[in-house]
Amino acid sequence: MSTVIIGGGPAGAAAAIALARSGARPLLLERDAVVAEKVCGEFLAADAAQRLGALGLDLAALGAVPICRAIFASGPSQAEMRLPFAAWGLPRATLDAALLDTARAAGAEVSVGMPVRDASWNGHSWRVRLAGGQAIDAPALVLATGKHELRGLRRAAAGGAIGVKLPLLGTVPEAAILLLACVGGYAGLQPRPGGGANLCAALDPRAPGVAEAARSGPAFMAHVARGSALAERVLAGLVQAVARPLTIAGVPYGHVALGCEAFRVGDQASVIPSFCGDGVAMALASGEAAAMAVLGKTTPHTYQAEWARRIRGGMRLAGLVSMLTSRAPRLLVAGVALAPAVAGWTAQRTRLG
C-alpha cells in the first residue's frame, strides 16, 4: 500500500514530489479532471520562489509577473512601501499544472478527475472511498484539500470568511500589489501575466453588501471600489474576464490544526490571512514536512504539533495585520506611511514558508 494524497494543489503536489524523490510511490488524487483556478491571491514571495526552485520550477519561465512594492489604501488615504523581498504574481492554474507535471516526472502516481467521497481511519490504516464507489487502503493519508472540507475529516473551526476572486482585464499599477480596505474586510489587486489583474478578497459574510458582491462581478468591483479613492480610480479602468467571481465560504483564517490521524497540509494545516502571509509557500513547506514525517515514521500528531510551533508567532502577527486592515485600515495606512521600516519588518516576519 502507498501513501495517499488527497488534493493536487501546491501542498499535495509538494508532498508527492518529496515522497517520490525519496523512493516512495505515492498516489495523488485530484478531484478536477482539468487544472482550474482557485480562490487565491496568487502572491508569491521569496520563500515560495526558493521552494519552487528547489522543486525544479522557474517562476520567470512560467511567466510570473515581478512585484516589488505594496500600496495600502483606505478612504482618501494611501501609502506605499517597497517590499523587503522579491515577489511575483502567478495564476494558480499555471502553478498547479506545473507542480503536478513535476510530481509525475518524479515518479508519483497522479490521478485527476478522482473526487474523494470520504476517508476513515480504523486504527491501523486508512480507507479512502472515491465518489465512484471504489475504495483504496493506505498506511498514511496526506490531506491537501485546501479550503474545502472532506467528509469525516472536517477541520474543527467555526464560522469563517468568504473568499472571492475575480480575474480582470485592463491596466493596473506596474509591479505593485494593492491592499484595498472595504466594508467587511479587504481586497488585494495585483497584475497577472499577459496583462490584467487578479482581484481577491477576504470578507465577513455578515457585512452589508458582501453577499451580493460574492455573486456578481460588477457588485464585487463596486463593493471594493467604495472602500478607497485608489480602488475607485483603478477599478474604473478594468473589466471582468470571467462571467462571475469564484467564491468559497467558511474560510477559517487563523486556524491551526492539531490532533488528527491524517497529515494535514496547506490550508488544512493552517490558514494564514490572505495577503498578510505567503500561503502558497506555507503549503509547499507543510507538504514537504509531511512527506518527511511519513518517511521518518513520525506520527501525524507529532508532525502537526511541530508545524504549529513553527508558524505560531508569524500567524499571530499576520492575524494582527489582518485585523487592522479590516477594522482600522486608516491606522494601518498611517503606520505604513510613518514607519515603512516597521511595515517591512512585519512583512518579513509573516513569511512562514
Give the 3-state secondary structure of 112-127.
ECCCEEEEEECCCCEE
Q: Which domain holds residue 36?
A: 4-67+89-156+253-320
> Quick check: 221 pLDDT over 70?
yes
- Classified as helix, coil or strand, 331 is helix
Q: What is the mean pLDDT of the chain?
A: 95
**Which residues 6+ apart lie within 8 Å of 331 measured at CB?**
324
> Quick check: 1 pLDDT over 70?
no
E strand or H helix at 231, and its extent?
A: helix 229-235
pLDDT digits (tens, 9 = 90+) for 79-121: 999 999 999 999 999 999 999 999 999 999 999 999 999 999 9
Tell me the angle at which helices 10-21 and 92-106 cross, rounded to the nearest 10 degrees: 20
CATH of the domain at 111: 3.50.50.60
Distance CA 159, CA 169 (A): 33
pLDDT digits (tens, 9 = 90+) for 271-284: 999 888 999 999 99
Residue 351 within any structural domain of the chain: no
> Quick check: 168 pLDDT over 90?
yes
Question: What residues does 88 pair with on adjacent strands?
Answer: 44, 66
DSSP assigned state of 34: S
| Pairing mode of beta strands 161-169, 197-203 | antiparallel
Residue 214 within any structural domain of the chain: no
Query: What's the pLDDT score for residue 160?
Result: 87
> Quick check: 26 pLDDT over 90?
yes
CB 182 within 8 A of CB 223: yes
Query: What's the pLDDT score for residue 353?
Result: 81
Which residue, 150, 123, 118, is CA-closest to 261? Answer: 123
**Which residues 6+ apart lie within 8 Å of 177 measured at CB?**
43, 67, 69, 70, 71, 87, 89, 188, 189, 190, 275
Residue 239 within any structural domain of the chain: no
CB 86 within 8 A of CB 281: no
Q: Average pLDDT of 338-347?
A: 94
Query: What's the pLDDT score for residue 155?
Result: 86
Residue 16 within any structural domain of the chain: yes
pLDDT digits (tens, 9 = 90+) for 248-263: 999 999 999 988 899 9
> Quick check: 13 pLDDT over 70?
yes
CB half-sphere exposure, 329, CA atoms < 13 A? 22
Which residue, 263, 222, 224, 249, is CA-closest to 119? Answer: 263
Residue 116 within any structural domain of the chain: yes
Residue 180 within any structural domain of the chain: no
Q: Average pLDDT of 221-233?
A: 98
> Quick check: 345 pLDDT over 80?
yes
> Quick check: 286 pLDDT over 70?
yes
Cell of 23: 523512493
> Quick check: 159 pLDDT over 80?
no
Q: Average pLDDT of 165-172?
A: 96
Cell of 335: 503606520
Cell of 231: 480602488
Tell me the residue ranges of DSSP E strands in the chain: 4-6, 27-30, 43-45, 65-74, 77-89, 109-112, 116-121, 126-130, 135-138, 141-143, 161-169, 176-182, 185-191, 197-203, 239-240, 246-251, 263-264
Q: How many domains is the chain built from? A: 1
